[in-house]
Structure 1
Amino acid sequence: MKFNFLAKEKNTVVNYENAVAFPLTPDYELYAAVVTTSLNASFYEKDTTRLERIKDLIQKSNPVFVAKLAVYARNEMHMRSVPLVLIVELAKIYSGDSLISKMITQVIQRADEITELLAYYQMANERNGVKKLNRLSKQIQKGLANSFNKFDEYQFAKYNRDGAVKLKDALFLVHLKAKDEAQQVLFNKIVNDALQTPYTWETELSKVGQLKYYNEAEKQKAFTQKWEELIDSNKIGYMALLRNLRNIVEANVSRYHISKVCDYLSNEKAVANSKQLPFRFLAAYRELKELNSKYVPMILDALEEAVMASAQNIKGFDVSTSVVIACDVSGSMQKNISPKSKIMLYDIGLMLGMLLQSRCKDVVSGMFGDRWKIINMPKRAILSNVNEYYKREGEVGYSTNGYLVLEDLIKRNEIVDKVMLFTDVQMWNSNMTKDSFAYSWNRYKAIAPNAKLYLFDLAGYGQTPINVEKNDVYLIAGWSDKVFDVLNALDDKNSALNYINRIEL
């Protein structure tokens, strides 16, 4: 008994709150770190610390898994920077077959990602001097050549930025031969900086802004007309529209045009194709709430409809499934995900929790800090629910006593199918009793042997308060509603890593 106890203790670590925690395998830790990062400082880690940890984990992980993770992060989690990091760092230690080129071909979805990848390659390999990008990896060269064949003149022109690495630099580096005469004409335009200026909301508004006006009223009228023209053109992408809702309202466009905007925002097909992270809707919702306009209620309703449409894709919850949703509102969750964003991990947890609640028939939801509190909310008002939770910030304190969610179920002898926590998983017991999260789960399993526990890791710090994938415990990480696809795929013999490993390269 004593020997077994000591052996088990060697497999534990302490988390950032100095509480006992369990380490993850390198693959699992890399997965959690990648899908919860914007490569900016987190509550417990500086931005360089996270990047260095990711680089270290790449060296310890299965190369094929790293490649599939990059594809998953880009195409299902809709992340842009970190997949490029995975490509370059894996290329530094792996060679010999076509893994890197296949990885690049699947990851690059926008023309500017070609130049961004090269810019990071230059930085990561500490290249200096005139020829910073000479001796390019053959597999990176091949993957980028494949990527060049994905885009047309409009796409190249739209993302032809004046950065450290330009499109024409990339074209020279990959030594790509044109597949036909039309592509050669396009390549010549890239080399000669002669790409046709694309019709985008940025270029059109820039033209209006550069004109001279007799007075402010004339200028305002010009912007109103331009926004109405842009809306009528149907050429504003979903993300651009979402980010410009405030600008559109302040431009005083007509009711007709506001209605067009609302129809597009709430269109189920448009929502499905938009690939927007859920918190983008929340950011737009909050931005609009501050405005004094008669059109704001219409747009807020459209945003609620859009989020409900995105929730329709969440599978795996029938009438008989009973669920507890617990959102971590501790102090460490109140960290902005990037310097330019007003969105915090706190918001992401609430947003994902309310999305899930909208799909569950038999559900109890609430928040935990020092205490656990059940808060009943309607199912068809996801964004306003999140805002309501947000207003109650501080109501349950700022610790991370997640074990109290389980102790409440034990106390009430409540048997549920799934217990789901949206958290940074830095659990501890501020009450200084013997109860740990793992201890409470083992106690609950004694009365609810078929119950399953899901930890939705929103921070990716590399440890968990309980041994995952044992005793019906699962870890799922990420900020996208796509985490629910992973959830739906889980069973006793599965894990989030199996879901990623299904990807074909």
Structure 2
Amino acid sequence: MANLQLFQSAKQTSLLPAALGFNTEGAPAYALTPRHQLAQYAATGCLNTTFYASAEAQLARVLELCKAVEPAFIAKTAVYCRERGYMKDMPALLVAVLAAQGAAEFPPAFERVINNGKMLRNFVQIMRSGVVGRKSLGSRPKKLVQAWLNSASEQVLLAAAVGNAPSLADVVKMVHPKPQDAWRAAFFAWLIGKQYDAKALPPALAAFEAYKLDPAQAIPEVPFQMLTALPLSARDWAQIARQGSWQMVRMNLNTFGRHGVYAIDGMPELIAAKLRDSEAIDRARVFPYQLMSACMAASESVPAIVRNALEQALEISLLNVPRIAGRVVVCPDVSGSMSSPVSGFRGSATSSVRCIDVAALVAAAMLRKNPDAMVLPFEQSVVTCQLDAQGTVMENAARLAAIGGGGTNCSAPLLRMNSKKELADLVIYVSDNESWIDARRSGATATMGQWTVFKQRNPQAKLVCIDIAPHARTQAMEREDILNIGGFSDDVFRIIAAFAAGRLDPAHWVGEIDAIDVASC
């Protein structure tokens, strides 16, 4: 007798729309709408070279997409990626595009997105570069930058004063803010190297100037980068660690080791307690992968108690991962292309965290909250990997990440489940969607074909495709039972839960972005 599953599959897939686009491997794929493409690039692109695309190609594609969608959606995407995805360069770029367009949405988008000194300097740098069509700020952007400078607190201005290209001093010289406060006037004069009234300096800056004259005084509460040119003792560095923000401490664990901080009684315990402070983690809006990066980068000088606190912080950062009703299957892509850095190649600043690490992290986190979940890592085919549902996220993520390599075959997990007649309610892919091993000459993609077969046994099942790299095409076409989403922030988990529970409308992820009211804070 003929193979009924094979011929039934062929009959069903012939009714599916053909994949008329091509991915970067030259294999058939479904093109996302311009809105979806822009959201995808904005949520995952860091404007650095990735496995498949140069930084220049990403920038050109984003600018092209901005011409294809309305300014209101550009503004909403910028707000979404800044407030829910915690992105930096992309939201600043999108706000700069709105400024160059003279869009009515520019002022409210600026106020929502440019929310610290780093973002302000990013915005000014992008505007001055000419990539959005102009090399000057223009009157309206200039006024908004002036307003930001004249309303920021002393601590915010001090934080903004760290960094170059442009520096905050460059920005002040460019827009000439007219401060109403004596302390702000003194601050700006100090910043750009002009004469200032020392008595009018704000408290932290005055303490910094006093400390430079007499290092026997207490360490001032200023960004530590302002102090590094000064002769600092181990106890001075310990005080810097005590005063530092959660993110600052997380990013400088090895620095503290080099300067002897951990040799001081009580300091390892103090730093560990700060790292696992749940309220501080929430305020820092930390990406789980940032904690993974810190765990991976910690040198031998970092005590075990501090490294353990990082792992505890990672577990805390994933408290928002949902417990999903029904059977869940997670399919992390462990192919060769996933070995590229998650934020792209940035020379000496390239992240040690790869796309495969993030895929493994998502899979391990879902397993942590859904112990009955099935995990099917795949490359050319499904790869066997023993995971422990009770183990730490870092342990399981490390096991998954260790098996990477080979080509990409996105249909492999569905093919495996179909061959074993598995039942499931939700299937989650974490991939770059650059499938080519299963490429067909025409018709629907192999992933869509296998999903059609899977749905015959699981008619209520839903498929989520999380793309963690900036791409414009997918292996599973967007429809009522299929969600394509970009990014790897906590918001991704929230949207997955809403989709699984039937709380998202057919517009899915793009609809979430489109629902944002840019004018409301």
Contact 1:428 1:437 survives alignment (8 Å): no
Change (3 A) 1:6 1:124: farther
Paired residue for 1:303, among 301, 304, 310? 310
Report the RMSD for the aligned CA atoms in angstroms.
2.8
Contact 1:38 1:338 survives alignment (8 Å): no
Paired residue for 1:201, among 209, 214, 224? 224
The answer to whether residue 110 in structure 2 is matched with residue 107 in structure 1 is no
Amino acid at match of 1:102: P
Q: Secondary structure of the equivalent of 2:464?
A: strand
Correspondence for 1:493: 505
State the Cα deviation string for residues 296-338 of structure 1 (Å, max 9, x = none): 33223212211111111223x24x4221111101111111233
Change (3 A) 1:139 1:353: farther
Contact 2:45 2:469 survives alignment (8 Å): yes
Structure 2 stretches of 5 or more lacking a match?
1-13, 209-220
Correspondence for 2:381: 371
State the Cα deviation string for residues 124-168 of structure 1 (Å, max 9, x = none): 26999xxx63xx334323432342244222322332257454435
The answer to whether residue 35 in structure 2 is matched with residue 27 in structure 1 is yes
Correspondence for 2:400: 389
Between stretches 40-49 and 68-77, larger displacement belongs to 68-77
The answer to whether residue 165 in structure 2 is matched with residue 153 in structure 1 is no
Change (3 A) 1:431 1:56: closer
Contact 2:38 2:65 survives alignment (8 Å): yes
Contact 1:30 1:54 survives alignment (8 Å): yes
Q: Secondary structure of the equivalent of 1:343?
A: coil
Structure 2: how far apart are the matches of 1:206 and 1:335? 35
Q: Secondary structure of the equivalent of 2:230?
A: helix
State the Cα deviation string for residues 11-58 of structure 1 (Å, max 9, x = none): 621112222110011110011111111211111111100000000001
Q: Secondary structure of the equivalent of 2:376?
A: strand
Contact 1:100 1:143 survives alignment (8 Å): no
Change (3 A) 1:54 1:127: closer
Correspondence for 1:137: 138
Structure 2: how far apart are the matches of 1:287 and 1:182? 40
Amino acid at match of 1:372: V
Change (3 A) 1:80 1:445: same
Write the mapping of 1:422-433 to structure 2, written as runs, cut at 5 A.
422-430=430-438
Write the mapping of 1:23-422 to structure 2, written as runs, cut at 5 A.
23-95=31-103, 97=104, 99-124=105-130, 133=136, 136-161=137-162, 163-171=164-172, 173-174=174-175, 176-190=177-191, 192=193, 196=205, 197=208, 199-208=222-231, 222=233, 224-231=234-241, 234-250=242-258, 251=260, 252-254=262-264, 256-288=266-298, 291=300, 296-315=303-322, 317-318=323-324, 320-336=325-341, 337-339=344-346, 340-375=350-385, 376-394=387-405, 398-422=406-430
State the Cα deviation string for residues 38-89 of structure 1 (Å, max 9, x = none): 2111111111000000000011012111111111212221111111111112
Contact 1:279 1:348 survives alignment (8 Å): yes
Cα displacement (A) at 1:371: 1.6
Structure 2: how far apart are the matches of 1:108 and 1:13? 36
Q: Which has the higher contact order (CA 8 A, sep 6+)?
A: 2
Correspondence for 1:216: none
Cα displacement (A) at 1:462: 0.3
Q: Secondary structure of the equivalent of 1:455?
A: strand
Change (3 A) 1:417 1:143: farther
Structure 1: how far apart are the matches of 2:516 and 2:148? 19
Cα displacement (A) at 1:393: 3.1
Q: Secondary structure of the equivalent of 1:456?
A: strand
Change (3 A) 1:6 1:310: closer
State the Cα deviation string for residues 211-270 of structure 1 (Å, max 9, x = none): xxxxxxxxxxx3x32232223xx3212222112222323424335211111111111111
Q: Secondary structure of the equivalent of 1:419?
A: strand
Contact 1:278 1:352 survives alignment (8 Å): no
Structure 2: how far apart are the matches of 1:431 and 1:27? 26
Amino acid at match of 2:227: E
TM-score, length-normalised on structure 1?
0.85
Amino acid at match of 1:159: A
State the Cα deviation string for residues 329-375 of structure 1 (Å, max 9, x = none): 11111112332222211111112222222121421113100121353
Correspondence for 1:213: none
Correspondence for 1:447: 457
Contact 1:102 1:143 survives alignment (8 Å): no
Change (3 A) 1:271 1:115: closer
Contact 1:308 1:382 survives alignment (8 Å): yes
Paired residue for 2:483, among 474, 489, 492? 474
Structure 1: how far apart are the matches of 2:516 and 2:463? 25
Structure 1: how far apart are the matches of 2:428 and 2:122? 37
Between stretches 195-204 and 339-348, larger displacement belongs to 195-204
Between stretches 399-408 and 492-501, larger displacement belongs to 492-501
TM-score, length-normalised on structure 2?
0.83
Amino acid at match of 1:116: N
Q: Secondary structure of the equivalent of 1:39?
A: coil
Structure 2: how far apart are the matches of 1:44 and 1:314? 30
Change (3 A) 1:404 1:382: same
Structure 1: how far apart are the matches of 2:133 and 2:451? 51
Would you say how many aligned residue pairs link Structure 1 and Structure 2? Answer: 470
Structure 1 stretches of 5 or more lacking a match?
210-221
